């Protein structure tokens, strides 16, 4: 691989520039991650509902995120990513108020769970504005040669928040109940919002009246498809690694996801510049091979050490697949449409998670948990075909 010319902006300057954005993403995903492990307990134990209602409550956020992706991207392009992030943080705080209102209505379980569903949907819209606006804000603040670094580092804040907030949310819920989750959701985003008010935002771009949605979709769909296929592997670890450990009586059951997350964060800190330097498609092609190998190791593992090593390998690989393909998604998109492009690109991850998790669950029921990771490895490996097609498209353009 021949490295491309070095971007003009120093790497440390990019890191300093992105810190406020990463703080906003960290806050947004802390409140999201804190609720994830305790929502089933709250809905089933405190409100007395079954698995179907638990699924509706949990899924409301992801459905709202998917629906609002294009809206948040378009808003970021027209009004600036900073304003989108601020709206996302304020909306997340409103979701916290719905959580608290739901707790106050626990005497009427049907009313309480209905309010909770509304709160989850509001939080889903907030998440879309925070992550899409954050990436759009970062892309507007640095030169185009650092696009991959922006996507990688903003995503690192998201993964770090999810890794930390799950245990933290469980402690809060065990100590103080769901009201503590509501207070955290209502207050933390507001604290970060106030701290960002004086942070400089990029100059606002005014888009043409004619919608560019069709053109952006035409540019983004291929790297988005590759990201969706690779994200099946991430979803398998998120949803089934703890079950694999529990089924084999490996302790602690969270070790697989922790190994995945730690390797991902380390890889992005060390290698986050590679997509910008060598090209997103090339790096995605190499790293997805590592991710697939890690998933295969997990599927064939007979010990906790081997399974954890596979999870770490998968995390290291996935670390640069998503930002690498993200560089391809925004690289041929005009600057005034980058927010929309990232919104559509991120929507592919939502779709992959929505379809992939139930499908992998069906596979687990019929063939066992090990089969989940073997099948995920095969699906993830198919991302190589997308990467090759992107490389061929680059050669055709040149």
d(CA 394, CA 279): 10
The whole-number pLDDT of residue 88 equals 96
The whole-number pLDDT of residue 315 equals 92
Read off the tokens for 259.
Answer: 């190994």
d(CA 292, CA 310): 9
Tell how far CA 277 is from the center of its chain: 23
d(CA 32, CA 170): 13
| Contact status, residue 66 vs residue 351, Cβ threshold 8 Å | yes
Is it true that the peptide bond before 171 is cis, omega within 30 degrees of 0? no
Query: Which ranges of the chain have pLDDT less than 50?
Result: 1-10, 207-210
CATH topology of domain 11-200: Growth Hormone; Chain: A; (1.20.1250)
The whole-number pLDDT of residue 1 equals 47
The whole-number pLDDT of residue 170 equals 80
- As annotated, the residues of the chain forming the CATH 1.20.1250.20 domain(s) are 11-200, 212-398
The whole-number pLDDT of residue 353 equals 74
In 3D space, the residue among 164, 186, 154, 191 whose CA is nearest the CA of residue 37 turns out to be 164
Write the CA distances from 85 to 112, 147, 232, 389, integer angstroms. Answer: 29, 18, 27, 34
d(CA 123, CA 74): 19
Write the CA distances from 52 to 34, 40, 58, 182, 363, integer angstroms. Answer: 21, 10, 10, 23, 20
From the candidate CATH numbers 1.10.10.10, 1.20.950.20, 2.60.40.10, 1.20.1250.20, the one assigned to the domain spanning 212-398 = 1.20.1250.20
Q: Which residue has the tokens 């030169």?
A: 143
With b for 16 or more beta-carbon neighbours within 10 A and e for fewer, the 7-29 pattern comes to bebeeeebeebbebbbbbbbbbb
Read off the tokens for 172.
Answer: 């809060």
Alpha helices by DSSP H, 177-303: 178-196, 213-247, 255-271, 274-278, 280-300
Read off the tokens for 193.
Answer: 């919002």
The whole-number pLDDT of residue 205 equals 53
Q: What is the pTM of this model?
A: 0.75
């Amino acid at each position: 691989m021949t490295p491309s010319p070095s971007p003009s902006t120093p790497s440390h300057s990019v890191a300093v520039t992105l810190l406020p954005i990463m703080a906003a993403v960290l806050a947004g995903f802390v409140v999201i991650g804190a609720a994830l492990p305790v929502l089933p307990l709250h809905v089933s134990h405190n409100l007395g509902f079954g698995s179907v209602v638990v699924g509706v409550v949990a899924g409301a956020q992801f459905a709202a995120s998917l629906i609002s992706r294009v809206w948040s991207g378009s808003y970021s392009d027209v009004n600036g990513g900073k304003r989108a992030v601020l709206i996302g943080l304020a909306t997340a705080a409103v979701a916290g108020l719905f959580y608290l209102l739901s707790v106050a209505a626990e005497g009427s379980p049907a009313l309480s769970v209905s309010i909770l569903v509304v709160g989850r949907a509001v939080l889903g819209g907030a998440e879309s504005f925070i992550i899409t606006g954050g990436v759009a804000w970062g892309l507007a603040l640095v030169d185009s040669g650092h696009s991959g670094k922006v996507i990688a580092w903003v995503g690192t804040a998201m993964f770090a928040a999810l890794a930390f907030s799950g245990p933290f949310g469980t402690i809060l819920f065990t100590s103080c109940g769901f009201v503590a989750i509501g207070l955290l959701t209502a207050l933390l985003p507001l604290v970060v919002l106030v701290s960002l008010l004086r942070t400089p935002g990029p100059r606002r771009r005014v888009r043409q009246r004619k919608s560019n949605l069709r053109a952006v979709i035409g540019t983004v769909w291929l790297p988005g498809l590759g990201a969706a296929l690779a994200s099946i592997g991430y979803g398998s670890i998120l949803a089934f690694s703890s079950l694999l450990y529990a089924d084999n009586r490996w302790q602690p059951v969270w070790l697989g996801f922790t190994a995945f997350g730690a390797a991902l964060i380390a890889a992005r800190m060390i290698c986050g510049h590679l997509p910008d330097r060598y090209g997103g498609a090339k790096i995605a092609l190499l790293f997805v091979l590592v991710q697939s190998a890690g998933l295969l190791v997990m599927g064939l593992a007979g010990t906790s050490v081997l399974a954890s090593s596979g999870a770490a390998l998968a995390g290291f690989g996935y670390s640069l697949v998503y930002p690498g393909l993200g560089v391809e998604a925004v690289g041929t998109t005009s600057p005034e449409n980058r927010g929309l492009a990232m919104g559509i690109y991120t929507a592919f991850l939502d779709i992959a998670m929505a379809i992939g998790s139930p499908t992998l669950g069906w596979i687990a029921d019929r063939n066992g948990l090990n089969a989940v990771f073997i099948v995920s490895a095969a699906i993830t490996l198919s991302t190589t075909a997308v990467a090759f097609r992107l490389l061929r498209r680059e050669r055709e353009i040149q």
